[in-house]
Amino acid sequence: MRRYLVVFVMVLVVGTGLAIAARRPRPAGPTSPAAATRPVAQVSLVIRDGGVAPALTSVPKDHRVEVRIENHGTRTVGITLAGYEDRLSAPAIAPGARWEGRFDADRPGEDFAWLVDGQPLGRFEVKGSHLVEGHR
């Protein structure tokens, strides 16, 4: 009986450790020597109840984007960038709080959306060609 108790406690400790490790914040994006030499584009967003300002943000392709998000609303919100969820992960932002992150904008297109609590409230464009330079 005592062996089962020891096994149960060990499983509980390992499970708790894994759960804590899984909840730790991840880096905003991959860091590589190429990423360090990219030009920087800065984006500032303000979240208000029911909207994002500016409604359209645009950056050139292959730029390192530094994002600053301020919540001027009255409730805590979650924000993601559709199409770049794997690169930009913001925690819930409380009213009056600010969050900063960065990612590489290497996916050109006009169909990216700033999602506030799952609702598209702003657009994000990455300007540039999807073709690799020199490729025919």
pLDDT at 20: 72
Mean of the pLDDT values across residues 124-130?
86
Confidence check: pLDDT of 21 > 70: no
Task: Output the pLDDT for position 92.
Answer: 93
pLDDT category at 6 given cuts 50, 70, 90 is: confident
Give whole-number Cα distances, 72 to 40, 59, 65, 115, 130, in Å.
26, 24, 22, 16, 36
Structure tokens of 36? Answer: 């360090």
Look up the CATH number of the domain holding residue 31: 2.60.40.420
Chain-centre distance of CA 35, in angstroms? 16
Full residue range of the structural domain in which residue 105 is found: 1-136
Helices (DSSP H) in the chain: which residue ranges? 2-23, 33-36
How does pLDDT run across 34-71, given as a tens digit for each residue?
Answer: 556 889 999 999 999 878 999 999 999 999 999 999 99
* Tally of domains within the chain: 1
pLDDT category at 135 given cuts 50, 70, 90 is very low
Please tell me the distance from the alpha carbon of residue 36 to that of residue 40, in angstroms, as a whole number: 9
Q: Is 47 exposed, middle or buried (0-12, 13-18, 19+ CB in 10 A)?
A: buried
Query: What does pTM read for this prediction?
Result: 0.67
What lies within 8 Å, CB to CB, of 88 at 6+ separation is 28, 29, 67, 80, 81, 101, 103
| Residue tagged 């020199």 (tokens) | 134
Is the confidence at residue 11, as pLDDT, over 60?
Answer: yes
| pLDDT for residue 108 is more than 70 | yes
H or E element in which residue 105 lies? strand 98-105
Question: Taking 80 as the threshold, does the pLDDT of residue 95 lie above it?
Answer: yes
